[in-house]
Amino acid sequence: MKRSKFAVVVLGLVMVFLYLPIVVLVANSFNEAKFGGEWAGFTFKWYKALFSSQNHAIWEAFQRSIIVATFATFASCVIGTTAAVALHRWKGRLQSIHYGLIYTPLVMPEILMGISLLMMFTAAGIGCGLTTIWIAHTTFCVSYVAMTVLARLQDFDDRITEAAYDLGAGPFYAFFHVVLPILLPGIVAGGLLAFTLSIDDFVITFFVTGPGADTLPLKIYSMIKHSRQMPVINSLSTLMLLMTCLLVAASRLVANRRRRVRTR
């Protein structure tokens, strides 16, 4: 079958559109010039500036982002998995409402969710800070975890659980030793998605943050508007990109090794 030239051209344009900005960002992180309009020579000074005491606030914001994302991921995995199992096992009008509540955050505009959460915290007299950011991130991450685990449950054979009951297993033992290992790939996938969304979120975090609780996206935004060391952002973004690529490569390596072991 002859390959269409039009499809190849469209694919090339899409790849350029997606990855050319990333290439420019990485190149500018080594650019001597402060602004990316011209190339003034190769340098590592922006990486040195990133790790200097002058930009210590960046790493504090990064640490806050990691803490919030970790706790939000854990909470959303527990709540989302429980919601997915409940939606799979029980049917009815109440479960239809439950499904609607889980699905709504996926299609709701982030600015609307941020404003509504801010109004709720204000009405409850809760001061905005890391706790409110964690609650807000858990709120929208639960939906992604629940949908991912629910997709995993579509192919789940309930007869496995019934067989465990017949062999004398109780509900808790059957869940933690039979159901949970089968759902674990879906939970891990949902958790990784939740962690990525949490550490990357800006709009909702912008509404529910408080003094001294800026996360990394908020810190980068403030640096773009006020900082004179804008190329430091390029260096930070390049390091985050490198870390992401290493994690993906490591996960692929582990998956390939497991596949080879199974085929032996």
Neighbours of 115 (CB within 10 A): 15
Is position 110 within any domain?
A: yes
Structure tokens, 261 = 């072991």
Structure tokens, 248 = 């993906």
Q: Are residues 171 and 239 in the same domain?
A: no
CATH number at 154 reads: 1.10.3720.10
Report the C-alpha gap between 34 and 37 in whole angstroms: 9
Q: Count the domains in the chain.
A: 2
The string of pLDDT tens digits covering residues 48-58 is 888 887 778 88
**Does residue 95 register a pLDDT over 80?**
no
pTM, full prediction? 0.81
Is position 18 within any domain?
A: no
Q: Which domain holds residue 252?
A: 228-264
Measured in degrees and rounded to the nearest 5, phi and psi for residue 42 equal -85, 135
Is position 27 within any domain?
A: no
pLDDT category at 72 given cuts 50, 70, 90 is very high
To which H or E segment does residue 147 belong? helix 130-153
The string of pLDDT tens digits covering residues 5-49 is 788 888 889 999 988 888 888 888 888 877 666 777 888 888 888
Q: What pLDDT does residue 97 have?
A: 81
